[in-house]
Copies of this chain bind each other. A is one copy, B any other.
């Protein structure tokens, strides 16, 4: 299987071209557009258009949270959460999930054709921010004619988008659920991302970002970046429980550089399978957007000011063993919301699964999120 530049023609679901009449003003100052947004929906939009939930995906996620992935044929990344009778009940809610700007699953990104040159953008693609991703999502929500979302929900980078939505477009959503997120990227977060980017750019097949034109792919560099990142998604106890020092299909160490240990074999597989579905330049651009995220910085360093006069109801979730976006980051959001007298609930899930817990079967998360949404429905009088 080899990664082809993905166009809206060869992906299932919905596509819309946005920013045609008026290009999108990016945080960098550049005017960008027109561009495509690819998205999926699950369930039915009710007559009053009041039952929609926007689900925001993480760094390497996409718009297929609740169905087979069109490339890998694996289950959607949030099938545990979205579906009939599930927490995000598709018999009740209209779920929208769009590929982020800069992505590689149909929404315009660095692997898309630049209409001006008829060649893939590569590094001609503008450097974007979480704010730009959300600005593009908002155009989609406008396009769908939805005045107010019932909820915006997401984990990891998805949580950053949720916070951005609540901060910038608070009148467009009833509830916000940032899970395993942070109001800004820490020095350690930036450092890990920088290593990943350097691994990609060190690969000669990256070709200064022009690999599609050169008919090459920086597969090994991207795989190294993914392997490194994957370690940060798991806790040490989870790695110990899953793999420990168990050997991979052998009785004793080989005294060599093969994958002697299961954990090595697992990581190599994570790396090599990732490159089949993800674009290296998208990885550069999206990690950069995350690094740049700093909600307080836009408000004179006072995070609370990002939420002044907010009417949104918040449910903030962290995981006790998440060391990538630790609880202290979620608490900073809670404190900021308390300072502006917002309606906020906070849950720290006790688990050893690390950052990836937001994707996994965590009954406490599912039950409490369900309860939070019920309460918000009662409060809103929407009668969903």
Contacts of A239 in B (CB 8 A): 186-188, 191
Q: For residue A263, give the distance in angstroms from its CB to the closest CB of chain B.
A: 5
* Among listed A167-175, A254-262, A303-311, A361-369, interface-contacting one: A254-262
Give the copy number. Answer: 2
Given B184, B199, B227, B236, which contacts A194 in the complex, CB threshold below 8 Å?
B227
A127 touches B294 (CB 8 A): no
* Main SS at interface, chain A: helix
A89 in the interface (beta carbon within 8 A)? no
Cα A198 to Cα B198 with chains together (Å):
14
Complex interface: chain B residues within 8 A of A195 (CB): 224, 227-228, 231, 267
Residue in B185, B255, B271 whose beta carbon sits within 8 Å of that of A126 in the complex: B255
Complex contact A236–B187 (CB within 8 A)? yes
A186–B240 CB distance below 8 A: yes
Interface range on chain A (Cβ under 8 Å from partner): 35 or more
Interface residues of A, Cβ cutoff 8 Å to B: 27-28, 123, 126-127, 184-188, 190-192, 194-195, 197-199, 201-204, 220-221, 223-224, 227-228, 231, 236, 239-240, 242-245, 253, 255-257, 259-261, 263-264, 267-268, 271, 284, 288, 291-292, 294, 297, 323, 326
B202 near A204: Cβ-Cβ < 8 Å? no
| Interface pair A224/B245, CB less than 8 Å apart | no
For residue A127, which residues in chain B have a CB less than 8 angstroms away from its CB? 255-257
Instruction: Establish whether residues A28 and B198, one from each chain, have CB atoms under 8 Å apart when the complex forms.
Output: no
Q: Are the CB atoms of B231 and A191 closer together than 8 Å?
A: yes
